[in-house]
Each structure stands twice: as structure tokens, then as C-alpha cells.
Chains A and B, each alone.
Chain A
Amino acid sequence: MENMEKIKTTAVKGTKAAQKVRGFVKNIYRNAQEAKAQGKKVSYVMVSSHYDEILRAMDIVPLPTENFAGLCAAKREMDRFLLKAEEDGYSQVLCSYARIGLGFDSLRKELGGIPENSPDGGMPMPDMMVGSSNVCDPRFKWFQATGRFLDAPHHSIDVVKPPVHADLKAVQKYYVRYQQEQFEELIAFLEIQTGKKLDKERLWETLRLGDEACRLWHETDRLRVAVPSPMPSQDRFSIMVPAYYYTGTQEAVDFYRELYEEVKYRVDNKIGTAGEQRYRVLYGGGLPPWHTLWIFNYFESFGAAFVMENVYRVHDPVEVPSHVKDPVEYLAWRTFLRLTSSHEKAKANTGNIEVERLLDIIRDYQIDGVVFHACRSCRATTLGQIHTKNRLSQYTDMPMTQLVSDMVDLRDYSEAQWKAQIGAFIEALAGREKTA
């Protein structure tokens, strides 16, 4: 740390690339609204479902309902949708993204059109809805539920992942096969909805683009091991947008190339983000507090810079066997390999994929402390944080803290409590610095 302070650096705020993302977000909704007007097919989707490139290849315009929920929160426009869903019988503890989506659909039905002043013009009526069991339960159940408020066909797929202790060689064949069949069943559904066949060459093309964007993003992440940190965590919550919401497009590839070059330039020239980077902090997991993103500046004011994140992860590059000649089979393999990329390593060491990944980051990115964000209504990204934290402390004595709120619902957030917790965390960082 001592040395780090001495390094003379130029400081800038976040990356320029991140500032461009606002346009990407706006275009999600504009594209969907225009597509509707032109009679193109629009689908509600759950991003990062591993099927994303299929939709692109079939010219289906994706409308990511989770993003819309996050957008509503960032603009503090979520309350009327949350309340509407609760009025319709959805529990206050149900995933708040789902509540916003359901509330929005319900209001749109009631009003006979998109509710006035919806962020970015709101979501038009989809022609279909495609969910998946990847990541969590609400992501396949929510679209079934919203069938109360809109008349659009729904299809969800399973995305399966073996547990860490599985004998991968023994299960690989049937996991890949099921995954492929799930994609094929989805394609059959999409062909009916669009009235046209999937062009496999187009799918190869979108897959190639998807892989390339992923590779560039992955390499950018690797650059971020640099001291001083060239890109703050806040940026990830923006820069993930092209990869997640524009999967399989040239736009996404161009974006990550630019990002890579920008970050590389900063690293080469030792340009760090603004403020004193006294402590390097890892965002250990959980969805971001969309309602209170300024909190990162608060950390920075104490010299704590977030340099890496364990959310919206980019997949490790994987090698699909060369005998695979069909793009759907390729996708199934890629899914399996991506989802199991850390299994063997974890099995050989800590036995826990999450702990293994975090320890790698802590080592590679010279982390001084970890902050988790627990979202009361998101079980998938929250549950297990305490356990992970407990397990991590078997390997490191660095300060760790878990802030609790929700990704969008402000009723679960207390500023006073957070500030007190952050204060204690910073003190612990300082204390450890002294003893070191």
C-alpha cells in the first residue's frame, strides 16, 4: 500500500465507454417501440439465459424486463409499479424486479396503453415471452404469472448446471444433450411465433459475435489487476449492458473493443480513477443497489476504491470440442462448459466455486476488503453470501461486510445504518493497514 500511495498518477473519473451506455439502454426501449411500429417481433426476455444469440439470429427484438425494473429504480420511478403488483396480490417479499414488471404490465392493461412518464418510454406489448431457469426461479415463473395481464405466448427453457461435486465426465453427455434439446424446443417455439425457420448460418454469426464480445470483456477485466485501478466498479453496472442486452451483435463487439483499448491505455499510462486509492475493495456479490449508486462515491471519499466485482460476471473463455459442427449443439456445449468452468479447480481446492473465484480475485487484484450487497428480495444472488463470507475468513483476515437493502425497493434501505457499517469497515481497513 505504501508504494501505491507514492505512485504519481493522473486521475480520471470512470471510463468514457461507460458513458456511452446510457444510449444503449435508451435504444433497448426505442428499438422495441420502433420494431412494434414496423410489425417486427418483440419478445420479453431474461438476459444471460444462454439462448440470447438465437433470438438475435431470428431477428427477434429483445425486451429485457429485468433491465426495465433496474432502470425504474435508477430513476426512482418504481413505487407505482411495486404498489400495483402488491395490490394485485403479489407478496412484498417477492423479487422486486418481478414486482415491477408485473405491476407495469398490470397498469398497462388497466390503462389500455403504456403508463404515462414510464422511464425511456416504457415497454411496448411483447409478441411473446421467453424465460429461463438460469440464475433463479422468478426468471421462468414471472412470465407465466404475467399472463394475467397480457395475451402473449410464453416459453421458458431449463438451463442446467451440475453441482460442484459431480463427476463431470460422467454427467457431461446428458447435460449437454438436455441443454441442446431445450434450445431446440425453444427454436421450434420461435419458428412458430415468427413464421420462419432459423438460419443456422446466421446463428453461427451471432455466436461468433457473442464469443468475441465476451473475449474482449474478459480481457478488459484482466487488465484491471493494474495499480492504480483504471476502472471503477460503478462502471461495470453500465458496461455490462452491451454484453447482456446486445448479445450477438456487432455493436457489442465494437463497444468492448473500445472499452478494452481505453482501459489498456489507462493501464499503460498509469491513469487511475479519481480520488485516492488507499484501499482496493472487491464488490463481493449481490445485485447493485440501483437506488443508491452514489454510495460508491461515499466509499471513495474515504479512499476505498472498488476495483473488481463479483456480479454480472463475464464467462471464462471456453473451448468447445472441434467435432461439434452444428451451432445449436455448439451453444449447448458452450453453456455446459461455461457453467462448469471452475468446477475442477474448486473441487481440488476449497470445494466451493464461489469461494474459489473470490480468492482468485483477491489474490490477482490485490484486494484489501470485500463488500457484499444483500438484496432482500433476490434469493439467487444473495443467499449464500454469509456462508461465502464465513468460508473466506478461513483463508483471509481482511475486513468484509454485508450491506443489506434491495436492488430496487427502497423500503429495505437505511442510510444511517449503511453509513455506520461503512464507517466500521473503513476503520477495519485502516487498522489492518497499520498492522501491515
Chain B
Amino acid sequence: MTASVALEELYQCRSKRAQALHDAGQKVIGYFCCYVPDEIIAAFDMLPYRIQGSQNEPIDEADVHMETMACPFARSCFNLALKGKYDFLDGVVIPHTCDTLEHLYIIWQETRPLSLTHFVNVPHMLGPSSATFYRQELNTFIVALETWSGQKMDTNKLREAVKVYNSHRAALRDLYKLRKSDPPLVSGAEVTKAVVAGMGIPAMEHIELIRTFIAEVKARLQTKKDQRPRIFLWGNELDDAAFIRLVEESGAQVVMDDLCTGTRFFWEDVPETEDPLDGIVTRYLNTHCPRTNLPQAATREADLENRFGHIGRFVREWRVNGVIFYIVRYCDTCELEGPDLREYLQGMKLPVLMIEDDYSTSTIGQLRTRVQAFLEMIA
């Protein structure tokens, strides 16, 4: 089986590997968002599993427990849990990313109780005192894992996990770099699938698949330069390739992103510090997410640069022609961030299309006309 086929299978059947490992006795810990360090879970020889929803399945059971004005991504995840699709999880960790997850913690805890349901508070402010607090919260999390598993945290294993996950990140960065060229060597839809496929399998297995996949891509017959506009995607949770496929079928190339399920999740390495927790704290706390406020810079211009400079660099290096925002509705911090980012990008002379969606493939068709009109405008 080629890596490409293996990744496609994992993408289609995301829990298969985790289920097998759970059946074989390994503990699987589900978590949300970008603020629960994989490294800590892995250091306990447990499998970190990034919880995802399903854009294909209607949310039918969750509404009995949760208001429909909650983030539909979170609702979808919970819906799957209610249907027993997350029964292979031994524990679940919910970080305080946003209002929705804060409430979901209680609802999940009381509706689908597991022997480990843990909440990690994450500072919304990046001030001088935030790192110490977050570190203490991670310590509390470690103690919870220790108590639950009866195992002590081994610092050497944590150090080792940092190395492993950094190589994982390096592999994913290499994958992303395949789209720097014109035309990109691989499509945006393929890349998203490959990344999502690895969110619930051991890092080493995913690294190998990604490395092989990169080799396979490089061996493909290369097409000529084309005129298709190069698109950057910004938003929150997009763990289904359908929307990206729609953009690409409409005549564009999705070449780079800043999404919870994309670069935001893996781009930056964890610095390899003497005490591994130092590096972990720095790396995770500084995740570029709209739910975290950076201290304000002296001028508006400097402030936007401070907040969005990483996107500016991506856009330049990947020679982007236009940006599409894919915002899962009801995510207040993303909704408030969008117009500021649009201002920053327009300052770079980049056209922006803002899309708000219900995290559902059934509504994606309705977006086609808007995407096409946008692409025509760029062309």
C-alpha cells in the first residue's frame, strides 16, 4: 500500500488505529484544540488523540444537551461522543480555549463520564505572569495523570517526547513546503487529509507515513506552471477536506493556512530546554490563536504586525494571491479577529473573502458561487 492510500484510509477512518491500540491495552487520551501538549500524554506512554467532529454527519443527539448557538464543531464532537464513537477514549482533556469548551467540559463530564475528565485553564493574556500560571496548570494536569494511572512522570521520557514531536512537526513542515513551488507539487486537499489522518495515531507512525508520502509526491510527473491563483486559508477548525476541494475545483490552489487543524497546530517547535516543561510552556502558550491576546503594541500598525506577522511571512514565502477566511460560526474570538486580519492583509494588497460556515458539508455547496466569484475577481 502506498503512503497516499494509507493516509486516505486513516483520514476516512480516523479512530481505527486508536481503537486498536485501546483494545490492545494502551490508554488513549482525547483532547481539544491546540493547548494540551501531546508530549505530556505521550510521556506517560499514552496515545494523545486530537478530538475531531464530522462535517458529514448531522448533529442530531447533542441538541438535547447543548444549545445550537454553541460552536458547531464542538457540538459535532460531542454528538459523536454521544453516539458512542469516542468510546475508545480512556480519558478526555478539555482546555479553556473558549466559552464553548468551558461549558462543554461540564456537559461532557456529566453526560459521558470517563474516569479521567480534566480541565486545563489557559491564560487568555500573554503577560509576564501568564507562563508561570500555565505551567502550574500543566503541573496539575501531570499530577492528575499520575494519580489516574498510578505512574510517575519521567522527565527523560518527556524530553524524548519533545524530540519526537519536533520531528513530527518537521515532517509536516516539509509536507507544507511542497506547495511553495509553482504549481504546488501537492494539492491543499491532499495535505489537509494527510495532516488530519495523523491526529490520533502514534507520532512515529505518522512521521514515517508523511516522509514516504513526500517521496511519492516528489516522484510524481510534474505539471507545468499554471495561472491558478494561490490561496491562503485562515480560520479555526477545518478537519474535512471538502471545502478545500471546493476551492480547488473552482480553479485555485490552496497553498498555505493558519488553521487550528493546520499550521497553528504544528508549525512551531518546542524548544529543547533543560527542564522540558519550560520549552513546552513557551511553545504552547505562544500559539497564534485569536483566543489569546498579545499585549498591545505602541501603534496600530505595529500591533497588527505583532499579531499577524507570521501570516504575513507565510503569505510572502508561499506567494499567495488571495485569502479565504473559513470561520466556524459562533466562534466569538475568530469573529472578532477576522476584520482586523482583513485590514492587515488588505494592507498587503491581498483580496480577502470572509466565509462563515456551519461546519457541515451539506451547506458547502451554497458557498460555491461566492468562492467562484472571488476567484474570478482575483484572476
Contact = CB atoms under 8 A, between A and B. Distances in A.
Contacts of A165: 109, 119
Given A163-B119, A383-B70, A89 B342 contact: yes
Interface string B180-203: 000000000000000000000000
Contact of A147 (B109, B140, B300): B300
A136 B332 CA distance: 10
B5 interface: no
A157 B67 contact: no
A185 B128 contact: yes
A91 B143 CA distance: 41
Given A144-B296, A379-B330, A386-B67, A160 B335 contact: no
Contacts of A94: 332, 335-336
B123 interface: yes
Q: Counting chain B CB atoms within 10 Å of each CB, which of A93, A137, A386 scores highest?
A: A137
B323 to A, nearest CB: 13
B67 A383 contact: yes
A379 B70 contact: yes
Nearest to B104: A383
A406 to B, nearest CB: 9
A140 interface: yes
A181 B335 contact: no
Nearest to B97: A137
Interface string A345-378: 0000001100000000000000000000010110
Contacts of B343: 148
Contacts of A148: 300, 339-340, 343
Contact of B337 (A145, A156, A351): A145
Given A91-B329, A91-B335, A144-B336, A181 B100 contact: no
B338 interface: yes
A175 B127 CA distance: 15
Contact of B65 (A147, A161, A163, A387): A387
B124 A158 contact: yes
Contacts of B130: 158, 178
B9 interface: no
Interface string A329-352: 000000000000000000000011
A133 B103 CA distance: 15
Contacts of A386: 64-67
Q: Counting chain B CB atoms within 10 Å of each CB, which of A91, A164, A351 scores highest?
A: A91
A138 B132 contact: no
Interface in B310-367: 327, 329-330, 332-333, 335-340, 342-343, 354, 356
B180 to A, nearest CB: 30
A301 B256 CA distance: 60
Contact of B66 (A137, A160, A387, A391): A387
Nearest to B111: A387
Majority secondary structure, A binding face: mixed
A90 B337 CA distance: 9
A157 B296 CA distance: 12
A325 to B, nearest CB: 21
Interface string B44-77: 0000000000000000000011110110000000
Nearest to B299: A151
Contacts, number: 159
A145 B335 CA distance: 10
B69 A133 contact: no
Contact of A170 (B111, B140, B290, B327): B140
Nearest to A379: B99
A352 B69 contact: no
A376 B69 contact: yes
Interface in A157-175: 157-158, 160-166, 170-171, 174-175
Interface string A234-277: 00000000000000000000000000000000000000000000
B378 interface: no
B293 interface: yes
A383 B110 contact: no
A90 B69 contact: no
Contact of B98 (A91, A137, A145): A137
Nearest to B121: A160
A41 interface: no
B339 A89 contact: yes
A158 B342 contact: no
B329 A141 contact: no
B303 interface: yes
A178 B129 CA distance: 7
A98 to B, nearest CB: 7
A148 B296 CA distance: 13
Contacts of A145: 336-337, 339-340
B333 A141 contact: yes
A48 to B, nearest CB: 16
Given A90-B339, A352-B110, A174 B296 contact: no
Q: Counting chain B CB atoms within 10 Å of each CB, which of A142, A151, A163 scores highest?
A: A163
A138 B107 contact: no
Interface in B91-105: 98-100, 103, 105
Q: Counting chain A CB atoms within 10 Å of each CB, which of B70, B107, B295 scores highest?
A: B107
A89 B128 contact: no
A156 B330 CA distance: 22
Contact of A141 (B66, B330, B332): B332
A155 interface: yes
B280 to A, nearest CB: 17
Given A158-B123, A162-B121, A137 B332 contact: yes
Given A93-B329, A145-B337, A158-B123, 5 more contacts: A141-B336, A153-B296, A156-B125, A178-B129, A182-B129
- In the complex, the 6 A-B pairs of residues with the closest C-beta atoms, listed nearest first: A181-B129, A178-B133, A89-B339, A174-B136, A163-B119, A133-B124
20 contacts: A88-B339, A89-B339, A90-B335, A91-B356, A94-B336, A141-B332, A141-B333, A144-B336, A147-B303, A148-B339, A148-B343, A155-B295, A161-B121, A163-B105, A181-B128, A352-B110, A379-B70, A383-B100, A384-B67, A384-B103
Interface of A: 88-91, 93-95, 98, 133, 136-138, 140-142, 144-145, 147-148, 151, 153-158, 160-166, 170-171, 174-175, 177-178, 181-182, 185, 351-352, 374, 376-377, 379-380, 382-387, 390-391
Interface of B: 64-67, 69-70, 98-100, 103, 105-107, 109-111, 119, 121, 123-125, 127-130, 132-133, 136, 140, 143, 290-291, 293, 295-296, 300, 303, 327, 329-330, 332-333, 335-340, 342-343, 354, 356
